[in-house]
Amino acid sequence: MNNSPSSPIGIFDSGTGGLTVAHAIKRLLPHEHMVYFGDTAHFPYGDKSEAAIQAYSVKIADVLLKKGCKVIVIACNSASSAAYELLKEYVRKEAHIINVIDPMVKLITQNFEGKRVGLIGTKRTVQSGIYARKIADAKKNITLSSLATPLLTPMIEEGFFNNQISHEIISQYLKEETLQNIDALILACTHYPLIRKEINHFYNNSIPVIDSAEEVALALKEHLQKYSLFNDERGPVQRTFYVSDYTEAFEASTRLFFQEKVLLEKHSLWN
Ligand code: DGL
C-alpha cells in the first residue's frame, strides 16, 4: 500500500469533466499533490460497454499507481458504476479508492427521506441501476426516477452551453414524463455542473440540483483523516494533468472545468 502522505491523489475521468471534482478537491485540500488522467482517446464512456470501461479503468489505475498515488478517485459516474468494484480489488494492496456515487447516495439518503428524486446521467450510469440499488439499500422510502441524457456530455465537452440550442436540449430532457414532480435532481455525471445554471433556470430555482464534486472532496478528506494520509509538507504543490489523446479543444475546455488554465500532457494508455 502506498501510504506516504506526500504521495499524490490520482483522479480520473473519460475526459475533462472530472476536473469539476479535481477543482473541488484542490479547494478543500490545497496542499495535496494531484495527478489527473482524462481518457480523451476513449471519450465518451457513457455509450461504452461495461467491459470496455473496466479495461480502460484498469489501464488508468496502472498509470496512477506507477505515479505513486496514495488514493485513486474515480471522478466519473460511468466508470464508478462499471468499474469501482473491480478496481477496488485490483488496487487493493497499493492504494485506496473512492468513487463519485457513494458520497452522493449518502447525501441523498440523509436528506431526502420520503421524497421523489430525479437523476440525469449517461446511458452507462442509468442502465447500471446502481443509484437505485444503493438508495433502495438504505430503506429510506426515496423514489428515484432516472433519465439517460446522452447528448449532454458531448455538448458540454465541446464548450457548447449557455445558448439557445443547449437551453432547448436541456429543457427537452427535463420535460420528460420520468422527471415530473421531483423534489430534487441529482447530476449523475461529472460534466453536468457546467450546466447547473441552465438547469436551475428551467426549475426557477425551485428544487435543489445536486452534483457530487464537493461531497466527493469531503469523502476524500475524511478518508485521508481516517488513514493519516494528509500531506503535511508545505512546499510547492504539484498538479499534473495527463490525457490519452491530445487536441487543442481538450486543452481549451480544461479552463471551463478546472476554472484555471492547465497544461495537458499526452500519456498513452497502451505502453
Ligand atoms: N463525466 C463522466 C460521468 O460522470 C463521463 C461522461 C462520458 O464520458 O460519457 O459519467
Provide the residue ranges of all domains of the chain, joining segments of one domain with +. Answer: 9-99+214-266, 102-212
Which residues lie closer than 8 Å to 52 by C-beta, 6 or more apart?
A: 42
| Partners of residue 145 on adjacent β-strands | 118
Q: Which residue has the cell 475533462?
A: 16
If you average pLDDT over residues 243-259, what whole number do you get? 85
Catalytic residues: 76, 189
Determine the pLDDT at residue 107: 97
Q: Which residues contact 255 (CB under 8 A, 6 or more apart)?
A: 261, 262
Per-residue buried b or exposed e for 74-109, using 16+ beta carbons within 10 Å of the residue's own CB: bbbbbbbbbbbebbeebbeebbbbbbbbbbbbebbb
- Residue 202 sits at the vertex; the CA angle it makes with 199 and 208, to the nearest 5 degrees, is 55
Q: Given a cut of 80, is residue 209 above it in pLDDT?
A: yes
Q: What is the mean pLDDT of the chain?
A: 94
Which residue type, as a one-letter code, is found at position 268? S
Ligand 1: centre distance to CA 47 (Å): 9
Q: What percent of the chain has pLDDT over 90?
A: 83
The yes-or-no verdict on residue 271 having pLDDT over 70 is: no
Give Cα separations from 214 to 24, 26, 218, 248 (angstroms): 6, 10, 6, 28
Higher pLDDT, 11 or 234: 11
Per DSSP (E only), the strands in 105-223 are 116-121, 143-148, 184-188, 209-210
What's the whole-model pTM score? 0.96
Q: How far apart are CA 30 and CA 6, in angstroms?
A: 13
The fold for domain 9-99+214-266 equals: Rossmann fold (3.40.50)
Q: pLDDT of 110-168, one tens digit each?
A: 999 999 999 999 999 999 999 999 999 999 999 999 999 999 999 988 888 899 999 99
Q: Whose CA is nearest to atom 2 of ligand 1?
A: 76
**Contact between 82 and 57 (Cβ < 8 Å):** yes
Mean pLDDT of 241-267: 87
Q: Which of 43-57, 156-170, 240-254 has the highest mean pLDDT?
A: 43-57
Q: Which of 74, 78, 194, 256 to mutate to test the pocket of ligand 1 (most atoms within 8 A of CB)?
A: 78
What is the pLDDT at residue 242?
95
- Would the CATH topology of 9-99+214-266 be identical to that of 102-212? yes
- The answer, yes or no, to whether any atom of ligand 1 lies below 6 A from the CB of 125, is yes
**CA 243 to CA 265: how far, in whole Å?**
6
Give the CATH number of domain 102-212: 3.40.50.1860
The pLDDT tens digits for 73-118 are 999 999 999 999 999 999 988 999 999 999 999 999 999 999 999 9
